Amino acid sequence: MTVRLTDLDGLSERDVELARQISAAARELNVSADPTAVQTVQVAIDALVGPEVQPFWRAVLGYEQFGDEDLVDPHGRGPSFWFQQMDAPRPQRNRIHVGISVPHDQAGARVAAAIATGGHLVTDQNAPAWWTMADAEGNEVDVATWMGRD
């Protein structure tokens, strides 16, 4: 069984209480949690002119605008797209990367598993909020947690 609670405006006390109730019901049914399966995927696009490129992505994906920087799947199936405002192009760096959010106690294992497959750590200067890694060709991914965030 998979239960997914999402709220783009952030978690409220009501959301936390609902999660506690679901967890209690699952325990009564002897359904165990698997925190290694918890993740949220986001695609980040570095954009010099975010407001000008967002309509293209909104149309091609069939997504909806959420706030000033995000596009979301109205059906909740696909990853969100975040448009990171850039002041200047980044030479020798990807303009699109994937972001994966996992529980804070799963991040280390996820980073280690990716490195074990031939990936490499680009930076951990923002850990434990996120680690940036890359595959053998330099395609980047951030493994993020809620820890260390504002």
CATH of the domain at 68: 3.10.180.10
Does the global pTM surpass 0.85? Answer: no
Whether 22 is in a domain gets the answer no
Number of domains in the chain: 1
d(CA 54, CA 68): 10
> Which residue has better confidence, 138 or 43?
43
Question: What pLDDT score was predicted for residue 8?
Answer: 56
Mean pLDDT, to the nearest integer, of 32-61?
84
Count how many residues are written for the chain: 150
Question: What pLDDT score was predicted for residue 81?
Answer: 92
Mean pLDDT, to the nearest integer, of 96-123?
90
Mean pLDDT estimate for the chain: 85
Q: What is the pLDDT of residues 58-86, one digit of tens each?
A: 987 889 999 888 999 998 888 999 988 88
- Is 104 buried (19+), middle (13-18) or exposed (0-12) by CB count in 10 A? middle
Mean pLDDT, to the nearest integer, of 133-149?
83
Mean pLDDT, to the nearest integer, of 55-59?
87
Confidence grade of residue 6 (pLDDT, cut at 50, 70, 90): low
d(CA 71, CA 43): 10
Whether 68 is in a domain gets the answer yes
Mean pLDDT, to the nearest integer, of 34-61?
85
Whether 24 is in a domain gets the answer no
Whether 149 is in a domain gets the answer no
Mean pLDDT, to the nearest integer, of 104-113?
91
Which domain range does residue 133 map to?
Answer: 35-144
Q: Is the pLDDT of residue 113 over 80?
A: yes
Question: What pLDDT score was predicted for residue 28?
Answer: 92
Whether 98 is in a domain gets the answer yes
User: What Å distances lie between residue 144 and 55, 77, 82, 100, CA to CA?
Assistant: 27, 20, 14, 6
Whether 6 is in a domain gets the answer no
d(CA 147, CA 125): 13
> Which residue has better confidence, 138 or 64?
64
